[in-house]
Amino acid sequence: MQITLIRPDDWHLHLRDDEAIKSVVAHTAERFARAIVMPNLKPPVTTTAMAMAYRDRILSALPHNSDFTPLMTLYMTDRLTSDEVIVAKKSQIIKGIKLYPAGATTHSDAGVTDIRKLYPVLETMQREGLPLLIHAEVTDPDVDIFDREQVFIDRHLRPLTRDFPALPMVFEHITTRQAVDFVRANEGTVGATITVQHLLYNRNAMLVGGIRPHYYCLPILKRESHQSALIEAATSGESHFFLGTDSAPHPQHAKECACGCAGCYTAHAAIELYAEIFERANALDRLEGFASLFGPDFYGLPRNRDTITLAKKKWSIPESYQFGQDRVVPLGSGESVNWQLVR
Per-residue x/- marks for ligand NCD, 38-67, CB under 6 A? --x---------------------------
Closest to ligand NCD by CB, 40 vs 227, is 40
List own/partner pairs for 48-56 with CB under 8 A and 24 or more apart.
Answer: 48/74, 48/84, 48/87, 48/88, 48/91, 48/93, 48/94, 51/88, 51/91, 51/93, 51/94, 52/91, 52/93, 54/17, 55/93
Please give the residues from 242 up to 271 whose contact with Zn ion meets the rule CB under 5 A: 246
Length of the chain, please?
Answer: 343
Which residues, numbered 124-143, are part of the site for ligand NCD (CB under 6 A)? 135
**The one catalytic residue among 9, 10, 246, 326:** 246
* Residue with smaller CB distance to ligand NCD, 26 or 248: 248
* Residue 87 lies near ligand NCD (rule: CB under 6 A): no
CA-wise closest residue to 113 among 104, 105, 121: 104
Residues 6+ apart with CB under 8 A from 318: 268, 330, 333, 334
Binder of ligand NCD out of 59, 262, 281, 311 (CB under 6 A)? 262
Residues touching Zn ion: how many (CB under 5 A)? Answer: 1
Which of 3, 13, 14, 270 is in the footprint of ligand NCD by CB under 6 A? 14
Would you call 246 a catalytic residue per the annotation? yes
218 interacts with, out of ligand NCD, Zn ion, none, CB within 5 to 8 A per kind: ligand NCD
Position 255 contacts ligand NCD (CB under 6 A): no
> Known binder of ligand: residue 240?
no
Kindly report the number of other CB atoms within 10 A of residue 147's CB atom: 14
CB-based contact 30:68 (threshold 8 Å)? no
Q: Residue 83 CB, nearest distance to ligand NCD (Å)?
A: 27
**Chain-centroid distance, C-alpha 1:** 29
Q: Give which of Zn ion, ligand NCD, none residue 23 binds (C-beta under 5 to 8 Å, depending on kind).
A: none
- What's the closest the beta carbon of residue 217 comes to Zn ion, in angstroms? 8
Does 331 interact with ligand NCD (rule: CB under 6 A)?
no
Q: Which of 218, 270, 271, 310 binds ligand NCD (CB under 6 A)?
A: 218
Pair 135, 101: CB distance under 8 Å = yes
- Cα(267)–Cα(264) distance, rounded to whole angstroms? 9
Based on its alpha-carbon atoms, the radius of gyration of the chain, rounded to whole angstroms, reads 19
Which entry of ligand NCD, Zn ion, none binds 40, CB below 5 to 8 A by partner kind?
ligand NCD
Q: Rounded to 10 degrees, what is the CA torsion of 4, 201, 240, 289?
A: 10
Pattern 166-205, ligand NCD, x by CB under 6 A: ----------------------------------------
Q: 330 touches which of Zn ion, ligand NCD, none (CB within 5 to 8 A by kind)?
A: none
Report the alpha-carbon distance of residue 283 to residue 278 in Å, rounded: 5
Which of the choices ligand NCD, Zn ion, none does residue 217 contact, using the CB cut-off of 5 to 8 A by kind?
ligand NCD
Residues designated catalytic: 246
Per the annotation, binding residues are 12, 14-16, 40, 98, 135, 173, 218, 246, 250, 262
